Amino acid sequence: MEETQLTQLGREVRGYANPDEAVLERVPNPHPGTTYLVRFAAPEFTSLCPVTGQPDFAHLVIDYVPGDWLVESKSLKLYLGSFRNHGAFHEDCTLAIAKRLHEELSPVWIRIGGYWYPRGGIPIDVFWQSGQPPEGLWLPDQGVAPYRGRG
């Protein structure tokens, strides 16, 4: 298995101005060949509307089955934070995150649920997965209720 050089863990990192500059780091999976689920929940994800510049908020849930690599969690946190001043539509943010993780990690399987809070009165939820989940995988519900407003 290839060695990895971590540049962020245990060091002060101020963050990144945009997702293209952000560094996603990976570490070797200590259990390659074992089918198990890793979940990251980011209930306070923010980005900017590319038209108005107003903030958009989402609850992201990222599930993946590792192959040879795990994403290093501090680098993921910094990567997600790099969207804070980045202008992109909900669909673009959600899919950009999923595709970048898929490219960097080459997981067995990955999915993302982007549960976006309403703007203009309409919540937009965005979902993507790399294919069918592996057979025998325990795949819990993402646990984010559909938006119900004040009801």
Q: Which residues are catalytic?
A: 49, 56
Q: Exposed (0-12), middle (13-18) or buried (19+): which is 87, by Cβ within 10 Å?
A: middle
Share of the chain residues as helix, strand and coil, in percent rounded to the nearest 5:
15, 30, 55
List C-alpha distances in Å: 37 to 88, 106, 127. 29, 14, 17
Q: How many CB atoms lie within 10 A of CB 92?
A: 14
Pairwise CA distance, residues 102 & 110, whole Å: 7
Instruction: Identify whether the C-beta of residue 137 lies closer than 8 Å to the C-beta of residue 65.
Output: yes
